[in-house]
Amino acid sequence: MAGKDLNGRIVFLDSGAGGLPYLGAYRALDPERPLLYVADKKNFPYGEKTKAGLVSLLLELTARVQKHFSPALIVIACNTASVSALAELRQCFPGTDFVGTVPAVKPALLSSAKKHIAILGTKRTLQDRYINGIAESTANDCTVTRISAAELVDFVEYRLDHAGRGERMAAAKKYMDAVRECGADALVLGCTHFLFLLDEFREAAGPGIRVFDSIDGVCHRVESILAQGSRAGSDSALRSSAKTRPGGGLGGSPQPCAGVGGRDGEAAVCRRRYGNSAPLMEEAEKESLPDSAGRRSNLLLVTGDEGGGELWERRAACFDLSFVKPQGWDDV
């Protein structure tokens, strides 16, 4: 962490809207921290790509993020990207801290009385050896049923903002019925997009099936890494002070995550797991990074020709994010 701005911006990166609940939950814990959300719509969805292709595009995207934002830390707010490319990202960018979002397989396995869990995710995530590795090392006598749900990713990305409660419940119930049919007593939400339907999944599950996600673990991991860096920086400063000024003296509550609630419709979806129920903000378009006076603003960058659009303007407003597209963004 040496030479890194520990008070700098944290970047949350996903191919679409899936990582927004993670940004919202972390902001509730650290409201003064400047944040950036990168929606890589140019490459949506990540879940249908090969591992090699995903690694390549994420290395390129991370290089751009590094060049233009110099983040304190990057959260790979996508299960598919995390299980596919996290190791390569850490190897290629050794000076950057990365936090991945991986399916909460271990706690689900440990809680399962029936020794049978189900994982809902994309094809790429479900095929990754990570799941087998965790299952074998945690409870190799457990059964793991994989349920692919690519169409649910599309539902959240394109339809959720306009869906009423009935449609949202139907979307979750379809998959919960499959979980119940296979005999599992725990469901792991293995895609960040599914967090937008967490309440619906829990309601559809009833008392006999527990639903697991990784949002709290990811937020606490970010806090832990930043705290470790702060302590390391303080220790380094104290050692330096002791050398240059012998005899010198020593100098010098997170809020709970936002709740879920509201009526049907867009306003409710805006509040649900978005971590912010503020009124719609005035549209803000920026051609380059804000100057020092606006440094602590929270930013949204959408890649590709879509550039935002009405749907992303609504999401930006719900999260109080300002659009940004740095000059020279396409130059690595």
Q: Rounded CA gap, 29 and 32, in Å?
A: 9
**Angle subtended by helix axes 79-92 and 51-69, to nearest 10:** 60
Tokens matching residue 141? 């006598």
In order, the DSSP letters of 69-86 are H--SEEEE--HHHHHHHH
For the CA atoms of 136, 138, 144, 148, the dihedral, rounded to the nearest 10 degrees, stands at -90
Number of Cβ within 10 Å of residue 247's Cβ equals: 5
Tokens matching residue 146? 């994989």
Q: Examine the residue annotation and report whether 318 is marked as an active-site residue of this protein.
A: no
Q: In the chain, what is the straight-line distance between the N-terminal and C-terminal CA atoms, in Å?
A: 23
Given the residues 92, 142, 182, 191, the one annotated as active site: 191
Burial degree of 167 (CB within 10 A; 0-12, 13-18, 19+):
middle
CA dist 104 → 124, 210, 329 (Å): 16, 12, 34
CA dist 263 → 87, 165, 268, 313 (Å): 42, 8, 5, 21
Residue 65: which H helix or E strand, with range? helix 51-69
Whether a cis peptide bond, with omega within 30° of 0, leads into 256 is: no
Q: Examine the residue annotation and report whether 182 is marked as an active-site residue of this protein.
A: no
What residues are labeled active site? 78, 191
